[in-house]
Amino acid sequence: MTQDIGFDTLQIHAGARPDPATGARQVPIYQTTAYVFRDADHAAALFNLQEVGYIYSRLTNPTVAALGERLAALEGGVGAVCTSSGHAAQLMALYPLMGPGKNIVASTRLYGGTITQFTQVFKRFGWSCTFVDTDDLAAVEAAIDDNTRALFCETIANPGGYVSDIPALAAIADKHGIPLVVDNTTATPYLAKPIEMGATLVVHSTTKYLTGNGTVTGGAIIDSGKFNWSNGKFPSLAEPEPAYHGLKFHETFGALAYTFFGIAIGLRDLGMTMNPQAAHYTLMGIETLSLRMQKHVANAGKVAAWLETHPAVEAVTYPGLDSSPYKARAEKLLPKGAGALFTVALKGGYEACVKMVDSLELFSHVANLGDARSLIIHSASTTHRQLTPEQQVAAGAAPNVVRLSIGIEDGEDIIADLAQALDKASA
């Protein structure tokens, strides 16, 4: 095939080929820890990174590699590193860029666990994070200093329905010689391709829509291959690496430097590796990603529009609604749809939220999103509990707000369930 291969074809075929040993059509689960070397020279060449191959499954595994290749193809990157979770992916994405005294600038509108990681965990590494309203581009510029090593945002911020202006943020990152890292979990590469909009790195919690049925946790980092790591700010990638006998990753591997570093140093030394079973479930999920996202988006649009007119509802933050301040940006950056995750503020406050959550029958009350089934959570008492009240409001998780992750059931059934629960909540 010589033409540009379409998304629906790539989601099934990228990274997969009939198994060379057996002809197995589906990617086998290579349930092995280690791989037999042909001889001592082969082993030495693998350890020297002179030859690419399999050594030990903390570093690489063929099932996990197939997933990495598929994700790189779908996001338009040159390589990917799969990790044990989305949080591992974030930490691993930043690890090659950071060092004690270095900082990142990140959006205030992020997944609650990410805000906790960036504030609490960072400190123990001597890193720091400055949070800014990324709609205020002047504030973003002002927050970047000589020690800033990345700019970080989410495509559609979880949970508030904020759409990040990725092209504008990428331009600022470029100007300052730092990568823009985009968490594309809630949009998926079907709805948005951050790399085409100028991002350097994309991170994912594959736990969510990519796997799509709430079975396994996982994460991934995809590199655009376009960043100049030798601009003086990134010694781990540009200068001799003491943890790898003085190898200079950028000089040696060019566009693949970041991916090779992620495997050879990141996975080898931090060990936040995806296991082959998880990779298998996620490969299966991705085969139907576009079909599921179309249904997620269609249902979310219907449900959000219905909720907005309900007397018990104060506000709905779905970026696909005319009332959303992000509608125009969503149409421009997310032409296939604004995702399926949004929040609803109830006039009845905290009490009504709890009553609604407890009254739903089809929806599951869980700390997850991006599942085939519809999910709900009261963020302020759960995922965003560790945040201060000000952080909760800034992240779109005020006490009178519930977050919905709209599934791919029949839209009418989702609405009927919400209708009966809202009746009870406002009784």
Q: Which residues contact 73 (CB under 8 A, 6 or more apart)?
A: 10, 14, 15
Annotate each residue in 201-220 with x if it binds ligand PLP (CB under 6 A) or - if it does not, as one string.
----x-xx--------x-x-
Nearer CB in complex with ligand PLP: 60/114: 114
Nearer CB in complex with ligand PLP: 274/352: 274
Reading the block at residue 64, the tokens are: 């996990």
What is the bridge-based pairing of β-strands 341-346 and 79-83? unpaired
Q: Which of 201, 369, 387, 418 binds ligand PLP (CB under 6 A)?
A: 369
In a 3-state reduction of DSSP, which class is residue 64? helix
CB 152 → ligand PLP: shortest distance, Å? Answer: 11
**328 class by beta-carbon count within 10 Å (0-12 exposed, 13-18 middle, 19+ buried):** exposed
Q: Which of 11, 60, 108, 158 binds ligand PLP (CB under 6 A)?
A: 158
Do residues 156 and 126 make contact, with C-beta atoms less than 8 angstroms apart?
A: no
Reading the block at residue 108, the tokens are: 């205030």
3-state secondary structure 260-291: HHHHHHHHHHHCCECCHHHHHHHHHHHCCHHH
**CA torsion, ordered 265, 171, 111, 159, to nearest 10 deg:** -150
Q: Is 296 in the site for ligand PLP (CB under 6 A)?
A: no
Pairwise CA distance, residues 123 & 148, whole Å:
15
The closest alpha carbon to 359, from 300, 299, 417, belongs to 417
The closest alpha carbon to 235, from 96, 68, 420, belongs to 96
Q: Which of 86, 262, 266, 339 binds ligand PLP (CB under 6 A)?
A: 86
Q: What's the one-letter identity of residue 68?
A: G
CB 408 → ligand PLP: shortest distance, Å? Answer: 18
Q: Is 379 in the site for ligand PLP (CB under 6 A)?
A: no
Nearer CB in complex with ligand PLP: 86/96: 86
Nearer CB in complex with ligand PLP: 72/341: 341
DSSP state of 379: G
Q: Is 135 in the site for ligand PLP (CB under 6 A)?
A: no
Q: Which of 75, 135, 154, 165 binds ligand PLP (CB under 6 A)?
A: 154
Q: Which of 75, 135, 165, 183 binds ligand PLP (CB under 6 A)?
A: 183
Region near ligand PLP per CB under 6 A, out of 12-20, 85-93, 240-248, 351-359: 85-93
Residue nearest to ligand PLP (CB): 86
CB 189 → ligand PLP: shortest distance, Å? Answer: 14
Region near ligand PLP per CB under 6 A, out of 110-118, 123-131, 267-275, 292-300: 110-118
Pairwise CA distance, residues 245 & 44, whole Å:
13
Nearer CB in complex with ligand PLP: 205/392: 205
Nearer CB in complex with ligand PLP: 216/421: 216
Read out DSSP for 42-54?
HHHHHHTTSS---
In a 3-state reduction of DSSP, which class is residue 415? helix
Angle (CA) 169 161 316, round 5°: 150
Nearer CB in complex with ligand PLP: 107/205: 205
Number of other CB atoms surrounding residue 20 within 10 Å: 8
Tell me how long the chain is. Answer: 427
Nearer CB in complex with ligand PLP: 151/369: 369
Residues that bind ligand PLP (CB under 6 A): 85-87, 111, 113-114, 154, 158, 183, 185-186, 205, 207-208, 217, 219, 369
